[in-house]
Structure 1
Amino acid sequence: MSKRVVVAGVGMIPFKTPRNAEPYGAMGEQAARKALADAGVDYTSVQQAYVGYVYGDSTSGQAALYGLGQSGIPIVNVNNNCSTGSTALFLARQAIETGAAECVIALGFEQMQRGALGSMWSDRPNAFGRFNDSTKALQGWDNDAPFAAQYFGGAGTAYANKYGVDPKVFAQIAVKARKHAANNPYAVFRDPITVEQVLESPRIFGPLTRLQCCPPTCGAAAAILCSEQFAAAHGLDDSVLIKAQAMTTDFPSTFSGDMLRVVGYDMAKAAADQVYEAAGVGPEDIRVVELHDCFTTNELLTYEGLGLTPEGTAEKFIADGNNTYGGQVVTNPSGGLLSKGHPLGATGLAQCAELVWQLRGQAQGRQVEGVNLALQHNIGLGGAAVVTLYEKVS
């Protein structure tokens, strides 16, 4: 029989720009200590560790955790592109659910460089080869534009053409992100912006301008997962559970459909559908979501992929204020990747921390009222999508 999984503790550090950040080991150790303190357990109680990062040498996870002690436990290093943090969470959840361990830490960190993402290895085939070939066939290729912006900007163009959406709809998402981030001390960008400022910022690709692209940032976040039995035996807070979780990878449609599919729409939808079915709930039951807004265009697509609004209706969903406080569902109360920042390995666990705080009623100025269920969406091209549903229990 599978065990229910408690999120006993979470922790993260404020995200920072690369020039202001500490080395990855220091960031990772700090986040891990915060999660342990929040849970009220010592590192000696942790039986396994799953550590996620994208840019770093092998066993960087050990280098970060050894600052807590050398306990001899299994430490597994994880890399699944931008979904790395939630992949570490996925593995930690499986360890508890199957009974392989009673207390596990999932840690994610990233020490990033300035500028757009790029490949680190030029002497071997690129893992994005299929994605690049599909993109070239659908919309051509711009050697001067960042590859990720071409994917997601192209997806935004395809959506706008299909449904007749005004480009300013995407800009409104960036404005909303800054409004939410104003109440988040962990976010990098907290100053308000206007639609006009977003649209007048430098053009990157398609409808995307600079203020519609997440910044490269550094940071770390962590979560302590345990069984209900472990929580009871150690007097831990067991009020937040992982109710359901699913991970998907690409389908043939990714490479034979349109740009929406290239950026993972089908992966995200399939993972969300699996979670809803397993949990016995629907998107109408969700009041708060942390979703992967690496670009404004992807946030809009994800509204529909998660079933928050029917396909083709995202423009009205935004216009009606259904994506923010006072509306149907608050999307990215943290400010999301657009404002909080996107240290790749840390993002999924930072989303986890925000939603746990929301369920506990500890989100302060960001608090969404009456939250009993919280949904997380984290995607990495290449690819993997992880959708997690958290539940508050009495």
Structure 2
Amino acid sequence: MNGSQFSFEMSDSQIANGSSIDFGGCLDFFISQYSNQNTDIKIYNSTFKKCKSQYLGGAISGIRDIITLENVNFIECSSQIGGAIYSIPIIKFTLSDKYFSQNKGYLAANNYNQKKIQLNMLDILEFNQNSNNDTDLFQKTDEYLYPGLTYILRLYITVDGEDYYTFTNQNNFGNLYKYIFKPSNNFISNTPQQLLSINFPFLLWYAQDISFNGKQTAQFESFSIQFVSSFYLDTNQYKIYNGCKEQGMEKIYLNNQKNLQFICKYCQQMKVSYHGVCQNCPTDYFLNCYGNYSELKQFYWRSFYSVNPDDIFYCSNNPQSCSGGSGIGNQLCYEGHIGPQCLDCDINGSYWGERYSMVGFFQCSCLYLIINIQKTKK
């Protein structure tokens, strides 16, 4: 080998049971610092058997440019892509099928790839580290990312012109941190317990080292992944906000007065934020609170989102008309009731879609049912 140019020749060899935690279970010709390396590889009268790698090229990976394979057999080799060979960028010759037997590319290309793979950005999701179930583990991001929150960058892979979004235990990729070229302090190397079973390729990112330079937003950092080839992922649409969401979280300044660094933190259990500060939810009025969610008990009513006791009203005239919940105004009323403390009936059907009339002491009944009952009695 000589820097970014090297030659390799092998003949009359039997290689078996080789393995790699990333590329080329038996031979790997990838040298990360030379992304444009030129190779002259010649292999004669040899057999690769039961070679396996974690990602690319079960037997051989990183082939570029000139290669000669004469009477070379690949038997029972496996990888995620290219069960026998992973080549860059394109294998410029046709390999006879007779030299390949029972090789497996768990995601694609059982024997060898026709084109260089592509790593692509799918989206960036907010990672809820406090969750222990899959239903709320990730949340869609809004227009911005926020300091102090952890995000997962979901990737997908293109192999021979086909996009792959679905991954299983057999073709899993997981956290690709170690392949980031010179990662910033914002990328996270350790994979949390909740993500160990995630099969799709991803990166973890935490906004802890952001320079806003007096601006309201900062562009998401550019970076590349060295995954046999160099891949620059498109993150131009994502920006980091110099502040926090007004609802659901609050700004916490770190012990660094010089730079006034801060993080955004969601309001925890029985706390809620509607104006940038987490407030305690009085248990006399609320069943549950977190983030920007607050659930009123039955018999209570409010006209706008607030947890201040002065803004919460007990439905004293008819407690049963106030059903409670996480909404405001009419959303907190029992069916047919509307207005302050749910004391009025929806006589025009403007909210409930049916007309309701007052029956008894602050009771509302559907006018359609009343008319039908009267007709039946006649």
TM-score relative to the length of structure 2 = 0.19
Higher helix share goes to which structure?
1
Higher relative contact order, chain-length normalized (CA < 8 Å, sep 6+): 1
CA radius of gyration, larger in: 2
TM-score relative to the length of structure 1 = 0.19
